[in-house]
Amino acid sequence: MSELENKPVAAVEDAQEEEETVESVDVHFEPVVKLEDVVVKTHEEDETEIFKMRAKLFRFDQEAKEWKERGTGD
């Protein structure tokens, strides 16, 4: 007979809950490759904004013969 068969029902339920409980373990992985920060230039850093307007972009769907909205931007 197993150990659980000799114990009262409440003790069996407690033992089963303890088995199901998984402790959270802090897992930490060291990186395999060290990457350096790279500065990316978009050549927009020196530009001055003269005019800015929120607008919607549309495209014409040939099959449906209608304009469809593509998005909104600044």
pLDDT by 10-residue block (mean), the chain, 74 residues = 55 59 78 92 89 94 94 86
Task: Please report the pLDDT score of residue 44 as a whole number.
Answer: 86
Task: Identify the residue whose tokens are 């959270």.
Answer: 24
User: Which helix (H) or strand (E) segment is 16 a member of?
Assistant: helix 9-20
Q: Whole-model pTM?
A: 0.33
First to last CA, the chain: 74
Task: Please report the pLDDT score of residue 55 as a whole number.
Answer: 94
Task: Please report the pLDDT score of residue 45 as a whole number.
Answer: 87
